Amino acid sequence: MARFIFLLLAFLILITDVTIISICNGNSVHAVCSESEKKALLKFKQGIVDRTNRLASWVSDGDCCRWTGIVCDNMTGHVIELHLRTTPPWEVHYYVVDDYEADDAYERSRLGGKISPSLLHLKHLSYLDLSNNDFGGIHIPKFFGSLGSLQYLNLSHAKFGGEVPHHLGNLSNLKYLNLGNNYHHTMYVENLHWLSSLSSLEYLDLSYVNLSQASNWFHALNTFPSLVELHLSYCQLPYQVNPIASVNLSSLATLSLSQNYFQNLSMINWVFGLKNLISLDLGDNDIEGPIPYGLRNLTLLNHLDLSNFK
């Protein structure tokens, strides 16, 4: 009996030492993903076109927390992040312009297909990146607006099309939203009222989203004191009929309004009240006249683009 107790104590001490060493080496034991979330991801995979087998690790007998593109909470095992972005070749340091082989490899590696509502089973998902993929002009799924834990949503350069669903306005925890540069400019919004519900937003990119019918675009955007970065290039922004009494974008540091073909400076006079701007892009707007006098108010600017002012 004494020998048994001695061996048991020795075993427990050994296990404790191994655990301590593992933690010190950054290899702490993590929880495995839940069976329901694994099934949801496998259902999502079924609808995805994956020509280069990027999701080969997504198999039913594995721990989904170890799958490519998946990040889980180490304590609970819940899936909290989904990284399915395709890296374009021009972001690689050795990329050469007109490298057709690299461009072709990129096109083949882009994910496509249909997006399954099984993602709704990922109740703790806070980060979703599907950028630089090829979804062939399908609409952004309305059910994305029910992913209530989302703080980061990037759908840029992913060839989504059609009307942006107002359901995204339900994502009250969202801090980052990027819908820019999608499918040959076929994405549009007719009313941006839903946007004003995203009170936590810090980054917004709607570049190349057609806003020509969104007459309330500035009133909807002028409700974000926490917004730091705003990109509205080539949005065909309509003239604001109702004047703006005050600008509430007090935290805005980066603003891009290029290629909107404003008729005159009166359409953007509000810009010169943004005292915290560091970067301002007003290029390619074909505005005629002298350099705007109001620029002298923007004392923190270190980047300014006024290309094609006439």
CATH number at residue 126: 3.80.10.10
Residue 8: band (very low, low, confident or very high) from pLDDT cuts 50, 70, 90: very low
User: CA–CA separation, 108 vs 216, rounded Å?
Assistant: 40
User: Within 10 A of 179 (CB to CB), how many other CB atoms are there?
Assistant: 24
Evaluate if residue 251 carries a pLDDT over 60: yes
pTM, two decimals, is: 0.88
User: CA–CA separation, 46 vs 113, rounded Å?
Assistant: 9
* Residue 275 near residue 296 (C-beta atoms within 8 A): no
Residue 8 lies in a domain: no
- The reported pLDDT for the residue numbered 156 is 97
Residue 23 lies in a domain: no
- Over the stretch 158-207, which tens digit does the pLDDT of each residue have? 999 999 999 999 999 999 999 999 866 689 999 999 999 999 999 999 99
- The reported pLDDT for the residue numbered 42 is 98
Q: For 26-30, 63-67, 97-101, which range has the lowest pLDDT when averaged over its residues? A: 26-30
Residue 3 lies in a domain: no
- The reported pLDDT for the residue numbered 202 is 98
CB within 8 A of 159, min separation 6: which ones?
133, 134, 135, 136, 137, 182, 183
- The reported pLDDT for the residue numbered 183 is 66
- Over the stretch 123-143, which tens digit does the pLDDT of each residue have? 999 999 999 999 999 999 999
Residue 310 lies in a domain: no
Residue 24 lies in a domain: no
Residue 94: band (very low, low, confident or very high) from pLDDT cuts 50, 70, 90: low
- The reported pLDDT for the residue numbered 309 is 76
Considering its fold, how many domains does the chain have in total?
A: 1
Residue 99: band (very low, low, confident or very high) from pLDDT cuts 50, 70, 90: confident
Q: What residues make up the domain containing 275?
A: 30-305
Q: DSSP of the chain, one letter per residue?
A: -HHHHHHHHHHHHHHHHHHHHHHHTT----PPPPHHHHHHHHHHHHHEE-TT-TTTT--TTS-GGGSTTEEE-TTT--EEEEE-PPPPGGGSTT--TT-HHHHHHHHHH--EE---GGGGG-TT--EEE-TT---TTPPPPGGGGG-TT-SEEE-TTS---EEPPGGGGG-TT--EEE--S-GGGTEE-S--GGGGG-TT--EEE-TT-B-TT-TTHHHHHTT-TT--EEE-TT--PPP-SSPPS----TT--EEE-TT---SSGGGGGGGGG-TT-SEEE--S----SSPPGGGGG-TT-SEEE-TT--
Residue 205 lies in a domain: yes
- The reported pLDDT for the residue numbered 266 is 73
Residue 81 lies in a domain: yes
Residue 219: band (very low, low, confident or very high) from pLDDT cuts 50, 70, 90: confident
Residue 1 lies in a domain: no
Average pLDDT over residues 43-62: 97
- Over the stretch 14-45, which tens digit does the pLDDT of each residue have? 443 433 333 344 445 578 899 999 999 999 99
